Structure 1
């Protein structure tokens, strides 16, 4: 997890633009430490997408500090 840049808390997803075939915003659904989420992956402008994390989701998974490891599974693209 990171806590700087355009979003208060976010996860950088290396290689996402190659997997998704775009550098644009993409709506996705999946799990974060086993908890379901729906979000829009935001382009970083440098290649990978950022997954912004809402404060409520951070609270649910019990993580909110930069550098904490989070298990992310993107299960479907919804856009």
Structure 2
């Protein structure tokens, strides 16, 4: 794991949600944009695109998927 990607929790208060890894983004799924976060891979893939692991909530379901840059928008 890269040093800059590590997260350290020094204090977690009762009732506080854990921090969400990644950067805020919108994820395109089912012709809609859903708020989520993305953690990018370290380098482009052979297809020339950036890929990342996204976490987003679609309705009440929390999804984790790997998506390319074409399905994501920075927030």
TM-score between both structures, scaled by the size of structure 1: 0.33
If each structure's helix is expressed as a fraction of its own residues, which one has the higher value?
1
Higher relative contact order (CA 8 A, sep 6+): 1
Larger Rg: 2
